[in-house]
Amino acid sequence: MKTLLILILLHCSCALSAQTYHLQKITHKSSASFRGLSVVDDKTAWLGGSNGWVGISTNGAKSWRFTQIEGQENFSIRSVYAFSDKKVVVANAGSPAKIFLTVDGGNTWKNVYTNESETAFFDGIDFWNENEGLAYGDAIDGKMLILQTNDGGSSWTELTNRPALNEGEGSFAASGTGIRCIGKKKVIIATGGVISRLWVSEDKGNTWNTIEPPITQGESTTGIYSVAIDGSRMIIVGGDYTKPTLSHKHNLYSTDGGKTWSTPAEAVRGYRECVEFISKNVLLSTGPTGTDFSTDGGKNWQVVSDEEGFHTLRKARNGSLIIVAGNNGQISIVQKAK
């Protein structure tokens, strides 16, 4: 019996160690604060940062080249979607709200959309394919700002049916993961603030329904900051950025497409700005107070690192590279512990 117990404990220990992660810090010269991140494959990744800085790596995040978009020195680039080492679409946070496109690796930038409204503020960009995508932002005249493109980001037009938001309902440009384009036509957008919901469209934004998870809300700083989706499974993280250690109704999961929600037995450790599926059951989540991981679809979370200051985390769409980035130029590669 004693031998059997030892074998079981060794097996559990090995299984746990095989599923632990650590951060490999990358040194570079930028001190920008990063919230926009798009990882194309195991070589190519783009970052969006404060003061108009955009970074590109073509060697798996080991080194970076940074360029500053002219005229955006007082704006943060928080929404980023990369197609390749040459082409990326980015949007600033603030008014006038602008979208920029480069097709030559960031050597030149084209302003492809501008909104002069005082309340215009982009929160995220995502694409279904190489041509079709959406950009979204805070409400203008009571309706969510949503733009569509059918030519890979070269031109943008407002959706005809923009969701009407409640007073105090907005979104957070915290990590660029409040929007998820899924499959061929589905999109889910998270809102937060006084009211926090998930807006769902099955037809590229022509019609909308809502899901109302019981996440903390009621103040302008509360609600859903990020959503991760895999089939009928949904994981949301957030909380209140003014209370980073708040751990009540800040992290929920659903296994039935949002019909019902549960609280993890061990939740992420306080306010989190980003959550991302790494594989079928493995997720990573990060925020200003640390980074966590789950190996059971978000039902239980464990510590990756207590390193502070991270905002965004993304896995390569075509590959295994995982990058986390944040304040003061922080960039790390997330690796499995050996």
Q: What pLDDT score does 306 carry?
A: 96
Is the pLDDT assigned to residue 10 strictly greater than 60?
A: no
CATH 2.130.10.10 for domain 22-336, yes or no, is yes
Q: What is the predicted pLDDT for the residue at 337?
A: 83
328 contact partners, CB below 8 Å, separation of at least 6: 31, 33, 309
* pLDDT one-digit tens code per residue, 238-277: 999 999 998 999 999 999 999 999 999 999 999 999 999 9
Q: What are phi and psi of 176, to 5 degrees?
A: 80, 10
* Domains in the chain: boundaries: 22-336
Cβ 246 vs Cβ 270: under 8 Å: yes
pLDDT over 80 at 90, yes or no: yes
pLDDT tens by residue, 61-85: 999 999 999 999 999 999 999 999 9
Gap between the Cα atoms of 256 and 322, Å rounded: 27
- With a CB cutoff of 8 Å and minimum separation 6, the contacts of 223 are 172, 190, 191, 192, 193, 195, 196, 215, 216, 217, 238
Report the Cα 174 to chain-centroid distance in Å. 7
